[in-house]
Amino acid sequence: MTPISKTLMVVAALAVAGCSNPDRFGSGSGAGMGAGGSGFGMDGVASDPRSVAYFNQTVGDRVLFAVDQSTLSDTARATLDGQARWLMDNPEYSATIEGHADEQGTREYNLALGARRANAAQEYLISRGVSPARLRTVSYGKERPIEICSNEACYSQNRRAVTVIAAGAGV
Q: Which residues make up the interface to another protein (CB under 8 A)?
A: 2-8, 11-12, 14-16, 18-19, 25, 68, 70, 103-109, 111-113, 115-116, 118-120, 122-123, 136-140, 143-150
Smallest gap from Cβ 22 to another protein, in A, equals 9
Alpha helices in the chain (DSSP H): 3-17, 52-54, 74-89, 107-127, 152-158
d(CA 156, CA 137): 21
- Kindly give, in sequence order, each residue whose CB lies less than 8 Å from that of residue 146, ignoring residues fewer than 6 positions away: 25, 26, 27, 28, 100, 157, 158, 160
Q: Indicate the residue among 87 and 101 with the shorter CB distance to another protein.
A: 101
Smallest gap from Cβ 67 to another protein, in A, equals 11
Smallest gap from Cβ 96 to another protein, in A, equals 8
Q: Indicate the residue among 54 and 124 with the shorter CB distance to another protein.
A: 124
d(CA 77, CA 124): 8
Q: Indicate the residue among 51 and 56 with the shorter CB distance to another protein.
A: 56
d(CA 51, CA 43): 6
Q: Indicate the residue among 30 and 105 with the shorter CB distance to another protein.
A: 105
Smallest gap from Cβ 45 to another protein, in A, equals 26
Computed over its alpha carbons, how large is the radius of gyration of the chain? 17
